[in-house]
Amino acid sequence: MSIKSFIDYLQLEKKYSQNTVKAYENDI
């Protein structure tokens, strides 16, 4: 799974907040 699709998955499936998703992007 690519990072982009993983981020999309977090946003759509998990309903994570924007800040949480940003933190994931920075960590990867």
Q: Which residues of 7-24 are buried (b: 16+ CB within 10 A; e: fewer)?
A: beebeeeeebeeeebeee
Is the pTM higher than 0.75?
A: no
- Per-residue pLDDT of 1-28, as tens digits, reads 688 888 787 788 777 677 776 787 777 7
Return the domain boundaries, the chain. 1-28
pLDDT at residue 1, as a whole number: 65
- Supply the angle between the helices 18-27 and 3-13 in degrees, to the nearest 10: 160
Q: Checking phi first, is residue 16 left (phi over 0); if not, alpha (psi -120 to 50) or beta?
A: beta
